[in-house]
Structure 1
């Protein structure tokens, strides 16, 4: 009997862990998850690193060294996080090699403080790429209005990108266009398109959380639509992916060696305890997708998820119907998704500032200890 994670991988879904810490790296846990849970990549964000560093013991020696050199918080964060991502990338290198560069990926995000600054985002993306210095890294750039031209500029330089914080179909279409434009510029500059990879991270559970809150306020029959918006939104995103990458423009790039920008399902931890804890895994199965899971969701999937094959491509009609019914009930999805993007940026900025504070205090403590 194969495990549910083996079945999910066999269905064409790449399982990425939404977490990273030095303890996972040094303890062998990350290697074990590749073997036992079919994990084929890792994603990180400022919240993940803030949690890892606040638990701190594994970082004490490096923090002491940085403190002795007089490093400030941002310098220390840059060195610590890129070291973790480089080491994780080395652990995943066999997966990267075995999949021709498709998987074995480790993501690191530009500072959320730069989410509305195109030029600074591009500069830091290049710095992160050069510092990690591994072909299986992905640089995470948020899909804000300022992020879109940054995505194009970074792809144009031959750097692989994880586009994050996508909530709406309208913004997703812009993300695809930014990727294709970047590939066209990379091609014109003489880059090997086959070496450039990208994923588009579509957030799922947060859509349900916000929409369900509004449906509860409306009441009545509208409440029958609860917990349906997130999956419907993601399924329609996959429909859009298939449509946009079948165009002559996209196919010309693919024929020149370019890779598809794979849809990635993010925010897949179920927030509502009344729902199945594997909902955003089992309902979003399609070949050529990625599901990045917090460890709790990964373990639930391994333990009891029922994988029944592709649950997306045959359900576009139902997803459109959900959207029509939500609109009829008074749910403005354009407003919802813009709110979620704004909140997403704000949450990551708050986590980043928390990370800066944690590291500042750790550096100060190390300096006092050595004094």
Structure 2
């Protein structure tokens, strides 16, 4: 019998796990998820690495070696995380080969401290790509204003990129432009465009969290009726924008030269409101050529009871536009919502980065104490 995750894959949605740890790698769990849950990629962030490093003994030996060598906290983070991403990339190499490089992807993020520094982001992206040294790695760069030219530079160097922290349609249009500009740069440098892949990570649940808070403050019946609708409407309109932008003469010329589209990726798909169905941001965002990166809880819920009804995006554009019109009429400023979310998103990743630094610093100190 076909499982919901198999049905989702058959509908053209790539399922990526939003989690990674050395335990998952060593126990065979990651390989098992490829077989049993149709997982075809992995995304990571500082929060995920902080959680992985704070529990279990999988990192103890390497931390001890790094401590003995006198590695700094940031040097240790770089080695620990790139080792995990390299190992995960090897596990997904079969998926990468079977999909001609479309899937089997593992993402690693540049330091959130660099989110507003273009040159430093480019340098870090190059360093990460060289250290992981796997064709199926994706370097995550946030879609901040400083991130946009960095995306162009990194794509232009032939490095595959996962653009993260996208909330607004306006910023998404700028991300697509940055990607196409990068492809043009790579083409001018004689780089094979077919080897460059990119995804654009559009955040979903956080939009509902912020909008629903504002709807509750407005307090009208009309506002209450819009609860839980903004995130999906925003993502559907993003896909409409994607279709339009990649149909332009500029994009089509690059595709004809061997380039790949930059696939939309639905991120932040764990449902935060217990009043909403736990598979909402999966079943309502199904269409071919997209990626859904899920925390394990959402992946398991989808596998257990997700109802895949085919394409739930391309026929729903009018409805999505209506939701946005209704939100504006109710007094919700979507531009302000998305700006607040971007600012919060960068700030949250910086906080997570500090937690990761603290975790590794403590581990290094503990290892040094043990060897005295």
Structure-2-length-normalised TM-score: 0.99
Q: Distance in 2 between matches of 1:181 and 1:351?
A: 31
- Render the CA deviation track for 1:123-178: whole Å, top value 9, x for unaligned: 00000000000000000000000000000000000000000000000000000000
Q: Deviations over 1:81-140 (max 9, x none)?
A: 000000000000000000000000000000000000000000000000000000000000
Partner Cα distance (2:8, 2:198) in 1: 21
Partner residue, 2:255: 254
Q: Superposition pairs for residues 125-274 of structure 1, below 5 Å?
A: 125-220=125-220, 221-274=222-275
Structure 1 segment 21-60 matched on structure 2, within 5 A? 21-60=21-60
1:324 match: 325
In the alignment, what sits opposite 1:91? 91
In structure 2, C-alpha distance between the alignment counterparts of 1:294 and 1:354, rounded to whole Å: 20
Cα separation, 2, equivalents of 1:311 and 1:172: 21
Report the CA distance between 1:57 and its aligned residue.
1.0
**How far apart, CA to CA, are the structure 1 residues paired with 2:213 and 2:53?**
33
Match of 2:312 in 1: 311
Taking the TM superposition and a 5 Å limit, the aligned residue runs for 1:55-134 are 55-134=55-134
Distance 2:3 2:358 in 1: 42
What SS does structure 2 have at the residue aligned with 1:313? coil
- 1:365 lines up with 2:366 in the alignment: yes
Partner of 1:279: 280
Structure 1 residues not aligned, in runs of 5+: none
State how far apart, in whole Å, the 2-side matches of 1:298 and 1:271 are.
15
Cα deviation for residue 62 of structure 1 reads 0.2
Q: Distance in 2 between the 1:222 and 1:296 partners?
A: 30
* 1:57 aligned counterpart, secondary structure: coil
* Matches of 1:295 and 1:356, distance apart in 2: 24
In the alignment, structure 2 segments of 5+ residues that lack a partner are none
Distance 2:258 2:56 in 1: 43
| Partner Cα distance (1:350, 1:16) in 2 | 24
SS in structure 2 opposite 1:15? strand
**How far, CA to CA, are the matches of 1:76 and 1:341 in structure 2?**
28
Return the alpha-carbon distance in structure 1 between the equivalents of residues 364 and 60 of structure 2: 9
Q: In 2, Cα distance between the equivalents of 1:72 and 1:331?
A: 46
Query: What value does the CA root-mean-square deviation take over the aligned residues?
Result: 0.4
Q: Quote the Cα distance in structure 2 between the aligned partners of 1:234 and 1:65.
A: 45
**Aligned mates of 1:267, 1:365 — CA distance in 2:** 34
- Distance of 2:271 and 2:217 partners within structure 1: 21
The 1-side partners of 2:294 and 2:278 are apart by 11
Give 3-state SS (helix, strand or coil) of 2:162's partner.
strand
